[in-house]
Structure 1
């Protein structure tokens, strides 16, 4: 299917589909006229990519995961899945640490504002 139909079917804009291709996340086929040709398996991959991006994972991590899926039959899926989940957990932990720092900063600012209002600053 052409990019317009792929966009409609996947719910992802044509611009995003081209971006996913530029980032190496998908490789659509090409018609004889040079137009992109999206097969059902590429659409399935787009849906996975969209879900992972919506959960906040960086493109780098998604690309590494998707590349590991196409490395060949000698790579065990259990190993790939375990490594990916480890990376996701690590990313989540770093995110949680950043949230904790931001929460502490917010609490400090709230305390400052309370004190400023109390003393009339």
Structure 2
């Protein structure tokens, strides 16, 4: 697929996709006409990258984590320092807390919607 389609399907600007490619996060092939050609699997990859960036991870760490997201899992961290490991543990813990918070908020919204629907149904029957 061309960059425009990848951009539309992921909600990511073309400029940002080119940046991801410069950072080694995604790879494209070049068509004879010079256009970039992206593999279908990159739709999920870009969404994973965006999620990791939203979680606060820098691209240099994301580049190292990405192999962990593939099947089969091939993990290679040639420069995993104690500081990097500690930072990743902090980020993991922060993400876990964020997931808990999002789950609580989702459940609260669901309860509100259920209550509103019941109230509207009761009002319609009256």
Same fold (TM over 0.5): yes
Question: Deviation at 1:31?
Answer: 1.2
Q: Which moved more, 1:84-93 or 1:53-62?
A: 84-93
Asked if 1:60 corresponds to 2:60, the answer is: yes
CA distance in 2, matches of 1:39, 1:74: 19
- Normalised to the residue count of structure 2, the TM-score between the two structures is 0.56
Taking the TM superposition and a 5 Å limit, the aligned residue runs for 1:14-25 are 14-25=14-25
- In structure 1, the partner of 2:5 is 5
- In structure 1, the partner of 2:80 is none
| Moved >6 Å (runs of 4+) | none
CA distance in 2, matches of 1:69, 1:9: 20
Q: Specify every segment of 5 or more residues in structure 1 that has no aligned partner in the other structure, as ranges.
A: 77-83, 94-121
In our comparison, the structure showing a higher alpha carbon Rg is: 1
Question: For residues 75 and 92 of structure 1, do their structure 2 counterparts lie closer, same or farther at Cα, with a shift above 3 Å needed?
Answer: closer
- What is the aligned residue count? 86
- Normalised to the residue count of structure 1, the TM-score between the two structures is 0.58
Question: Deviation at 1:69?
Answer: 6.0
CA distance in 2, matches of 1:18, 1:28: 10
Taking the TM superposition and a 5 Å limit, the aligned residue runs for 1:80-99 are 88-91=88-91
